Structure 1
């Protein structure tokens, strides 16, 4: 009886493991990475990656280190850090412990379509904020696109 029970569990386990999505088949066509620097002695640094996949999808991947347990909102703004500008694109917030967020991007917040090629040459900058209640506190930032050169 025990053998049959273990055999059933083994077969069930194989069936379940075979049903998952195989992420290894995703093909990256292009990737561009921009550095993010700490602000106001936050000691939080990281990078933002723009990734173009074979299926046409563009992802913005934020990765930071040394962050707090807050949920950190992040935005791409127009113009350089020095000039400042309006929010052009709202990104997925960085959740607590994982220190990463992924946003699939096809258009700006105003509805204007944007491609990978336009994103990597965008006249903009990125800011990561302390939390939704303290948007005036920036913990990491960096120029992107034409401003990062």
Structure 2
């Protein structure tokens, strides 16, 4: 992802080893090898600023203690960027659960020792790797609504499996793109719609419908609307609008299609459309 990512990971490993050596050193006459602590690295993608991205490294120090180190590139010198672990996926958003040390803009680094949530609930390394959450790094304390880097963690981590479907031009010439479904560790999916040539400032509702596009059918799943200025929409896929469980594997075998509409008041105007699941095979 990053040109400097390998350097970051080497640096993170050095931090891990130095911390472990300090907290777990043995007598000189003990020849037994010292096991490396458990480590998990999550990617933090750019959001508001395409130049800022990096990683969050979780290290198990002991059965009660986890070290979390954020390493970013592209942060402005002198900046101070609040960071938190939030509940839910990044696509859904959620409240702050664990406050992390702010990222130093000059170094791009933040390290936090974690034993509990902000509410005082004990949380272990293993708990964090199962957690339904995401990490946000914000522009400043006064601008928490501006997220400079973000990444899903725990059960929301992506497995690397994905399926992309074409969204073809329909009623508005020149608008087309794709919808990408990526599998999460918990079986849910991240859906990313990307369209070209959407009008600046537009808000375009998007849905999964029953049946093939040729047949037509009712809405069964509602995506977050496509932002016309970026042409993008990101949505967590876990259940249909009626509450029926609906994850990554369900998408791949579903009898359905995707419509992206011109606006909430003009749902009859379809700007892009494409079959998914078994209809696209």
TM range (shorter): 0.7 to 0.9
1:57 corresponds to: 65
The aligned residue for residue 91 of structure 1 is 100
1:25 aligns to what? 21
Whichever of the two has the greater Rg, that structure is 2
- C-alpha separation between the residues in 1 aligned to 2:144 and 2:109? 18
Deviates more, 1:82-91 or 1:52-61: 52-61
- Give the secondary-structure state (helix, strand or coil) at the position aligned to 2:38: strand
Matched residue pairs, number?
128
Partner Cα distance (2:54, 2:97) in 1: 21
Structure 2 unmatched ranges of 5 or more: 1-17, 25-35, 159-281
> Which digits, 9 at most, give the CA deviation of each residue in 1:72-131, with x for residues without a partner?
000100000111111000000011211111100000001110000001111000110011
Structure 1 ranges of 4+ moved more than 6 A: none
Structure with bigger strand share is 2
Aligned to 2:180: none
Deviation digits for residues 40-77 of structure 1, max 9, x if unmatched? 34310000011012585310110000111310000100
Distance, in Å, in 2 between the alignment partners of 1:81 and 1:49 is 18
Residue 98 of structure 1 aligns to a residue whose secondary structure is coil
Q: What residue is the counterpart of 1:79 in the other structure?
A: 88
CA distance in 2, matches of 1:100, 1:77: 19
Structure 1 pair 54/118, CA: closer, same or farther in 2 (3 Å)? closer
Query: How high is the TM-score relative to the length of structure 1?
Result: 0.79
Q: In the alignment, does 2:97 pair up with 1:101?
A: no
Q: Relative contact order (alpha carbons < 8 A, sep ≥ 6): 1 or 2 greater?
A: 1
The TM-score with structure 2 as length reference comes to 0.43
| Corresponding residue number in structure 1 for 2:126 | 117
Q: Which residue pairs with 1:148 in the alignment?
A: 157
**Runs of 5+ unmatched residues, structure 1:** 1-22
Note if 1:35 corresponds to 2:31: no
RMSD of aligned C-alpha atoms?
1.9
Of Structure 1 and Structure 2, the greater helix share is in 1
